Amino acid sequence: MTNKADLALMNWAYKKSREFARRFASYRGEHTPKHPTFGQGSEALATDQAGPVPVEAEDIHYTEDDNKAVEKYTREFVATAWHAIGTCAMKRRGEGGVVDSKLNVYGTQGLKVADLSICPGNVCANTYSTALVVGEKAALIIAEELAIQNI
């Protein structure tokens, strides 16, 4: 959460998902321990309200203090549930890349990376399938460099 844009997106997602949930016909209140700590009297204070609000109801108004509470909550409780990819991205070095198109780590000799960390961005697919493709391509690259013919 060091990138302000990421933090802003997570704070927005908290608020928007809360608004969606409040409008579901099956809504039966909030599990208050799983929300930011808002000040007493705040409109944003989580409640165990019995039923949904009308679809056309106004969104909860968040004060500056409420926004700080959401940010604190986001920083303390939000964690990734995804498999991290792209930490050693295959890009040009000047663009922040770590490996070249032959999987060589820039600035080293004899070191390759052949896992999902080479993806330059989100693959928008199952990571298992993508990992298989990366591994197969790595095998071909390494075989070529070792002059192995029968692969």
Own/partner long-range contacts of 140-145 (Cβ < 8 Å, ≥24 apart): 141/102, 141/103, 141/112, 142/112, 145/102
Structure-token match 């949904």, residue found: 52
pLDDT tens string, the chain, 151 residues long: the values are: 788 888 999 999 999 999 999 999 999 999 988 899 999 999 999 988 778 999 999 999 999 999 999 999 999 988 766 677 889 999 999 999 999 999 999 999 999 999 999 999 887 778 889 999 999 999 999 999 999 987 6
Other CB atoms within 10 Å distance of the CB of residue 71: 17
What is the value of pTM for the model shown? Answer: 0.57
Amino acid 40: pLDDT? 92
User: Catalytic residue at 61?
Assistant: no
Q: How many CA atoms lie within 13 A of 60 on its CB side?
A: 25
Q: How large is the angle between the packed helices 4-23 and 64-77, nearest 10 degrees?
A: 100
| pLDDT reported for residue 124 | 78
What is the predicted pLDDT for the residue at 6?
86
Distances (CA, A) of 136 to 83, 114, 133, 140, 142: 20, 9, 5, 6, 10
Nearest alpha carbon to residue 60 among 11, 114, 122, 112: 11
pLDDT of residue 48: 82
pLDDT for the residue 119 = 93
